[in-house]
Structure 1
Amino acid sequence: MNMEIKDVLDKWKEFTLTNEQGMSVSILNFGGIMTKLMVPDREGNLENVVLGYKNYADYESNPNFFGAVIGRVAGRIQDSSFELADRNYNVEANEGDNHLHGGSNGFHHVVWDAAPFQNTDSIGLKLTHRSADGAGGYPGNVDITVTYTLNNDNELLLDYAATTDQNTPLTLTNHSYFNLSGDLKSTVQNHHVTMNSAAFVELDKALIPTGNVTDVSGTTFDFRAGRALSEGFTDKSEQHKIAGNGYDHYFLFEKEGNVVVEDKGSGRVMIIETDQPGLVMYTSNGLDEGLELNEGSSRKYLGVCFETQAPPASLHHDGFPDLIVHPEEPYHKRTKFSLRAE
């Protein structure tokens, strides 16, 4: 195993963790951003399977949130406000009237304290940050730790931990765009996804949850037996049109969270396991075109995000998994990405 540390733009550091199989992940201390994930295909060729900028300076704005840690609340908060203990809180409206991904100064723009580590069969990076009471409009001093661990079984584990001194909304995720074809050889239209979800959350035209939970049966949102993502790109239903002819929806898991993503061209398979109650699957329907990425130019459907998290809809609607964290109950969530080739 090996770790390389590189200075970036005279103000950040990039940590590259490599296991004994040759798989590697590169992470910036700025935003906790995963800039590259090098994974072998069925022939053993190591290629990058996440979207990242060719020029590091582009991460300073990063409107697409490539690879970043998202918080305090991942997703959209309706009307940029919420009520907690009979008090109303206002957060930044950074997407129309609504609050998106922690606001313009969310965790994706934080320079985290970074501490690399190595164990017998794994190598990792621990990122820490204190979000002060009132930061972004949120209550409570929150101490956050995000740990990336790469082991010799080609598993990448993301552990999220936090403590707070006040009740506060908190749900963290990683916003990497995956493309298992390797080095952006194709879009993700032929990626085959299997997911144990029987219901998704309906969106309005501003991509805000309506509060309605929709049964996936008989729709292109039913991934229980697996389907190609392209089926949602071409389907004419209203929910796909609202999302820009694709997916940008929260899926509620049945029992444990488990997703399998397959790319037959490369042979790569990614298994996602999480203790979160669901995830947002976003198929880059609104990805800006013409951005200079590591292996080429950006375009629609070039990546797919699996944003494992609790739903912000719970701040305005009953019946959803809660995302309020309490001082007496520390936050701890894990998402594991297992990579292999067939």
Structure 2
Amino acid sequence: MPRDALVSEGELTVSQETAATLPDGRPVTRWTIGSPRGVTAEVLSLGARLQALYAPDRDGRWENVVLGCDGVEEMLGEAAYLGATVGRYANRIADGTVPVDGTTHRVATQETGHTLHGGPDGFATRLWEGAPVREGRRVGVALRLRSPTGDQGFPGELSVEVTYLLDPAGELWIGYRATTDAPTVVNFTNHAYFNLAGEGSGTVLDHTLRVDAPGYLPVDGELIPTGPVEPVTGTPFDLREAAVLGERVVDGHPQIAGAGGGFDHNWVLDGHGFRRVAVLSHPAGGRSVECFTTEPGIQVYTGNHFDGSLTGRSGRPYRKYAGVALETQHFPDSPNRPEYPSTVLRPGEQFRSMTVYRFSAG
């Protein structure tokens, strides 16, 4: 199908094409958002997924800087989370137990016995309905999904909208909205893995990362938070000044070793409201991405478990540390931790969240 321009604002356009077909015959749509001289994003209806994101380096060389696959089989399997919108509940819920208003709901679990990213049939593997949109000077696509009562065991029917928008300054805006007809829990994130040297180019160990967070959540051997927030001071988790990832993931700290030799932890972010919370940079090429969010936490995952079995769009396998995910979200296992910020959504309320990735090169 040709890429017909559907929405435009100046040089920014949104076009669409059929990218693939699901085993049941339903088409998967790809929307391309961008301009000839600006950051360009590709978004799929399968998993409301950021499949590619092209940005220039300091010398004007354009590369896709997020990991992704083309094959439907991979996106429904091993690559399900790459770039996807995950929910109903991003990250982990211990033992698949969700207490809401005195009633404990049993939700679907993975082989670990815990719930990860909404369960084995979470939002990352669903086909979302999408349409192009324009908001001011930004253009993009809005994707919608209805999750019925009891979906993966969660209470309440949930109506969800995820909007991807690009603006002329090279900012990617990802907005989330949700409503419910019964009390439930929600926690959404985008699971893009960044490699600012280019997708499939190697590891991110030469990247630097800054996270504006005074504390983090230590985890047990199954990556479930152990409880209280711990200060980052004196640990490899202190990223309040930019640090080289390769110098931190080789640290002998037991939390690093227990997560597979890298980060897979939630940082408790400083401040409230919409603010800048992290900066990822690739000094060799000059690309940087600043992360802004309304969320209280960010899960940093350094791709510790990539083992070469997954091949990306570049045709090259993804090995350990092939990308780093900056997952803005509420805290893992919050339904079982009343001391954490609440993730309960009630009828009559609207869940809203915004995350922005601002790209630059210098």
TM-score, normalising length: structure 1: 0.96
Q: CA deviation at 1:64?
A: 5.3
Structure-1 residue corresponding to 2:207 = 191
The partner residue of 1:3 within 1, 10, 14 is: 14
Amino acid in the other structure paired with 1:265: A
Q: Does the 8 A contact of 1:312 with 1:323 survive in 2?
A: no
Describe the shift of the 1:120–1:322 C-alpha distance in structure 2 as closer, same or farther (beyond 3 A). Answer: closer
Q: Does the 8 A contact of 2:63 with 2:198 survive in 1?
A: yes
Q: Does the 8 A contact of 2:90 with 2:116 survive in 1?
A: yes
Describe the shift of the 1:114–1:54 C-alpha distance in structure 2 as closer, same or farther (beyond 3 A). Answer: closer
Residues 248-280 of structure 1: per-residue CA shift (max 9 Å, x gap): 000001104511111011100100000000111
Q: CA deviation at 1:85?
A: 1.1
Deviates more, 1:232-241 or 1:180-189: 180-189
- Aligned-partner Cα distance in 2 for 1:180–1:32: 22
- Aligned-partner Cα distance in 2 for 1:338–1:107: 25
Structure-1 residue corresponding to 2:266 = 250
- Aligned-partner Cα distance in 2 for 1:287–1:92: 24
Say whether residues 1:294 and 2:313 are aligned partners: yes
Q: Does the 8 A contact of 1:280 with 1:306 survive in 2?
A: yes
Q: Does the 8 A contact of 2:68 with 2:79 survive in 1?
A: no
Q: CA deviation at 1:62?
A: 3.6
Structure-1 residue corresponding to 2:348 = 328
Q: CA deviation at 1:54?
A: 4.2
Amino acid in the other structure paired with 1:36: A
Q: Does the 8 A contact of 1:70 with 1:107 survive in 2?
A: yes
Aligned counterparts, 1:140-289, within 5 A:
140-256=156-272, 257=275, 258-289=277-308
Structure-2 residue corresponding to 1:339 = 359
Structure-1 residue corresponding to 2:104 = 88
Q: Does the 8 A contact of 2:80 with 2:124 survive in 1?
A: no
Residues 122-179 of structure 1: per-residue CA shift (max 9 Å, x gap): 2100001111111110011111000000111000000000111111110100000000
Structure-2 residue corresponding to 1:75 = 91
Q: CA deviation at 1:61?
A: 1.5
Amino acid in the other structure paired with 2:15: E
Deviates more, 1:328-337 or 1:251-260: 251-260
Residues 199-257 of structure 1: per-residue CA shift (max 9 Å, x gap): 10010001111113211001110001121111222111110011001000000011045
- Aligned-partner Cα distance in 1 for 2:136–2:187: 31
Deviates more, 1:105-114 or 1:7-16: 7-16
Q: CA deviation at 1:294?
A: 1.3
Structure-1 residue corresponding to 2:54 = 38
Q: Does the 8 A contact of 1:55 with 1:292 survive in 2?
A: no
Structure-2 residue corresponding to 1:108 = 124
SS at match of 1:12: strand
Describe the shift of the 1:330–1:33 C-alpha distance in structure 2 as closer, same or farther (beyond 3 A). Answer: same
SS at match of 1:293: coil
Q: CA deviation at 1:121?
A: 2.6
Q: Does the 8 A contact of 2:289 with 2:360 survive in 1?
A: yes
Q: Does the 8 A contact of 1:27 with 1:33 survive in 2?
A: yes
Q: Structure 1 residue runs of 4+, over 4 Å off?
A: none
TM-score, normalising length: structure 2: 0.91
Residues 21-46 of structure 1: per-residue CA shift (max 9 Å, x gap): 33210011010111110001111111
Deviates more, 1:60-69 or 1:220-229: 60-69
Q: Percent identity?
A: 33
Deviates more, 1:118-127 or 1:21-30: 118-127
- Aligned-partner Cα distance in 1 for 2:80–2:247: 24
The partner residue of 2:32 within 7, 11, 16 is: 16
Q: CA deviation at 1:56?
A: 4.2
Task: Note the residue ranges of structure 1 that are not aligned, 5 or more in a row.
Answer: none
Q: Does the 8 A contact of 1:182 with 1:266 survive in 2?
A: no
